[in-house]
Amino acid sequence: MAAINTQRRRLIKGVGFLALSSLSPPLLAASANALSPEDRVSPIQPAGDGVAYFPDGRLGKVIPRSGELLPVIGMGTWRTFNVGDNPRLLKSRTQVLKAFYAQGGGMIDSSPMYGSAEAVLGHTMGRLKQREKVFAATKVWTSSTQQGVEQVEDSKQLWGVQRFDLFQVHNLVNWQAHLQHLLALKAKGEIRYVGITTSHGRRHHDLADIMKTQPIDFVQLTYNIVDREVEDVLLPLALEKDIAVIANRPYQGGQLMRRYQSHELPHWAAEIDCRNWAEFLLKYVVSHPAITCAIPATSQVEHMHENMGALRGSLPGENYRNEMVAYLNKL
């Protein structure tokens, strides 16, 4: 971690490159009669489960603690934005971010753990000059309490933002000390929300304890159509405690796309407004009542367009969600 901090210092100093429903047979014949248009959440009908719609039709979810509406699709930056100062890659990631902005994306999530990603975000955001479009979320990731304080300041400089919307403790590392610091910053109005992250199913028991006892606004955890363990305890707990939930690894790091994209979508996918696998997989994630947004990561403009498609149209209700899982189980 020391090496990473040194690298971040270098990036900050050398900001040379920073410009500082109703299903079709035969597949679902058995269940077709059980599903109806009421089994999906429609943008033109009052929506439950914290779903609401922006005036331009984008799907949003309410952050429980504040009532603020957040677009259900955000963007992750692990690996995809860790491109250093390569001019060709910086240009390409600027185009990815431009596509994200153009289609009304919301949260951008990063971390000091992601190499140059925060610096690259600062560069690309600077190029596009629309920082206000971003719900800026990053993390503290260090076992040292003092380095955690420094990381907050470093991240502000790297991103080029005055204030973060959300600061999270990455992977529960030294969470007691960092949480205390982040909550103090929130009390002073220097950050708006505080959260804690995990992934890959790690330390769920500890996370549940924190959710029960600490005044956090957000949790971030792994949730996708295959990795559904969090449905048992953590997601119901988030609903009970009014904690917003960010779903990381919605494609299981890209594996789900590789596994399924050569297959046909089910006949009834259009009924829940899914035109491709990206929309199918992301709508599964964000249609869970406890999930506030998903943060797929991509290095490609074309993929960003596909991902942003999940911000539109209806969401599957419970019966469709069950059919989505059942369909994948048969592939």
Ligand X SMILES: NC(=O)c1ccc[n+]([C@@H]2O[C@H](COP(=O)([O-])OP(=O)(O)OC[C@H]3O[C@@H](n4cnc5c(N)ncnc54)[C@H](OP(=O)(O)O)[C@@H]3O)[C@@H](O)[C@H]2O)c1
CB of 96 to ligand X, least distance (A): 9
Site of interaction with ligand X (CB under 6 A): 76-78, 80, 109, 170-171, 197-199, 220, 248-254, 257, 278, 295-300, 303, 306-307
How many residues would you count in the chain? 331
CB of 226 to ligand X, least distance (A): 11
CB of 282 to ligand X, least distance (A): 9
| Cα-to-chain-centroid distance, residue 296 | 6
Choice between 115 and 317, CB closer to ligand X:
115
For residue 76, how many other CB atoms are within 10 A of its CB?
A: 26
Decide: 148 and 168 in contact? Cβ < 8 Å: no
Choice between 145 and 199, CB closer to ligand X:
199
Alpha helices in the chain (DSSP H): 2-13, 29-32, 87-102, 117-128, 145-159, 175-187, 204-213, 234-241, 255-260, 277-286, 301-308, 318-330
Choice between 135 and 251, CB closer to ligand X:
251
CB of 70 to ligand X, least distance (A): 15
The partner residues of 221 in beta bridges, in order of sequence, read: 247
For residue 126, how many other CB atoms are within 10 A of its CB?
A: 16
Choice between 142 and 298, CB closer to ligand X:
298
Distance CA 274, CA 249 (A): 19
Choice between 23 and 83, CB closer to ligand X:
83
Contacts of 75 (CB under 8 A, 6+ apart): 97, 100, 105, 107, 108, 109, 295, 296, 297, 298, 304
Nearest residue to ligand X, by Cβ distance, number only: 76
CB of 243 to ligand X, least distance (A): 15
Choice between 38 and 263, CB closer to ligand X:
263
CB of 89 to ligand X, least distance (A): 12
